[in-house]
Each structure stands twice: as structure tokens, then as C-alpha cells.
Amino acid sequence: MMVSVKQDLKEQPNINPTKFVVWLLIVASVMLFAAFTSAYIVRRGEGNWLTFDIPVHFVISVVIAILSSVTMQWAYTMAKKDELASLKTSLMITFGLGVAFCVSQLLGWKALVANNIHFVGNPSESFFYVISGVHLAHMVGGIIFVLVTLIKAFQLNVHKKNLLTINLCTTYWHFLGITWIYLYFFLLLNR
């Protein structure tokens, strides 16, 4: 009996706890944004819904999200090839694009306020700020993740024999980009 239990334990796959936590965060975030978009659709159907133009800054942030996914994938590829100089360069560019994304979001909010669209007002205005704001908070977390990965790269702790950090960072970063593209088009098409 004891041998059978030990064999069963050995046959179970080992799941890296850090990988599990990152994927748990992604699944929880998907559920959160699904709840927001569902609530948005239900509330819009009740009426009293203000339609407003989305500032161009949010389109720019879509482009930045796509470019940053490209540079993050480049970083991952360079880590797999042990091209450490290119790895660092691509991570620095990704970090810069992440900061640019945040700036474009803040400029978008500033443009909304200039057009008299406020957080406290019509439900459509509040939803827009909440959805974009929660994504921005996730993006700040992603930028911190990129920075940690960059520091590890400078410490020579990211390379083809140690890909866990860059793998998880890349996964999370692509998730952020895909989520923003989805949210932008959702908000654009469901005004």
C-alpha cells in the first residue's frame, strides 16, 4: 500500500508555484474583466446611457500594446538563444513602451475630463474609467514584472538555462496586451 501511494505521488506532475500563481492571476483577471464587461452591457440596456467619443490616446495605447508585445516576444527569443545584449535591449524597450502606455492612458483621461466626461457622472462615464483604470493597475504590475526581469537579466539570471522568469513575464505581458485590445474594441463598439 505504501509503495503504491509513493508511486502515485511520483507520477503527479510538478507545477512550479510561481507559474501557478501567475496563471491564477491571469484567470482571476479574465473573470474580473468578464464581470465588468457583462455589467456594462446589462447597465447599458437599462437606459440613461451617455454616448461619447473615445479620445485618440486610447487608440495610441492599442498600438503601444501591440508594439510592446512584439518587443517582449523578441526578449523571450533572445533569452532562448542566449543573446544577452539583445535580451536587455528588448526588455528596456518593453519597459519604455509600458511606461508610454500608462502615459497615453493618463492623457486619454485628461482628454475625457476636458470633454466634460468625469468618473462621477453618467454610468457610461464611470464604467469607462473603472474598466480602463483597473487595466492600468494591471499594467503597472506588468511594468514592475518587466523591471524585475530586466534586473535579473543584468544579473545574468535570465538565459537559455533559466527561462522561468522571462517565460512568465512574457505570458503576463501578452495577456495585458490582448486584454487591452479586447477592452478598447469592446468599449468602442458598445458605446
Distance CA 103, CA 98 (A): 9
Which whole-number Å values give the CA distances from 178 to 4, 7, 101, 158, in the listed order? 45, 41, 14, 25
pLDDT in tens, 37-70: 999 999 999 988 999 999 999 999 999 999 999 9
Mean of all residue pLDDT scores within the chain: 93
- pLDDT of 191 reads 86
Q: Which amino acid belongs to residue 5?
A: V
CB-based contacts of 77: which residues, under 8 Å, 6+ apart? none
* Segment holding 164, helix H or strand E: helix 164-189
pLDDT in tens, 83-128: 999 999 999 999 999 999 999 999 999 999 999 999 998 999 999 9
CA atoms within 13 A on the CB side of 188: 12
Distance CA 124, CA 28 (A): 24
- pLDDT of 10 reads 61
pLDDT over 60 at 7, yes or no: no
- The residues pairing with 162 across neighbouring beta strands, listed in sequence order, are 159
Section 127-144 average pLDDT: 97
Distance CA 94, CA 73 (A): 10
- pLDDT of 4 reads 54
Q: Which amino acid belongs to residue 122?
A: N
> What is the value of pTM for the model shown?
0.90
Question: Would you call 159 helix, strand, or coil by DSSP?
Answer: strand
pLDDT over 60 at 5, yes or no: no
- pLDDT of 37 reads 97
* Superfamily of chain region 2-189: Cytochrome c oxidase, subunit III, four-helix bundle (1.20.120.80)
Distance CA 104, CA 34 (A): 24
- pLDDT of 121 reads 82
pLDDT over 70 at 8, yes or no: no
- pLDDT of 87 reads 97
Round the CA-based radius of gyration of the chain to a whole number and report it.
20
Question: Would you call 162 helix, strand, or coil by DSSP?
Answer: strand
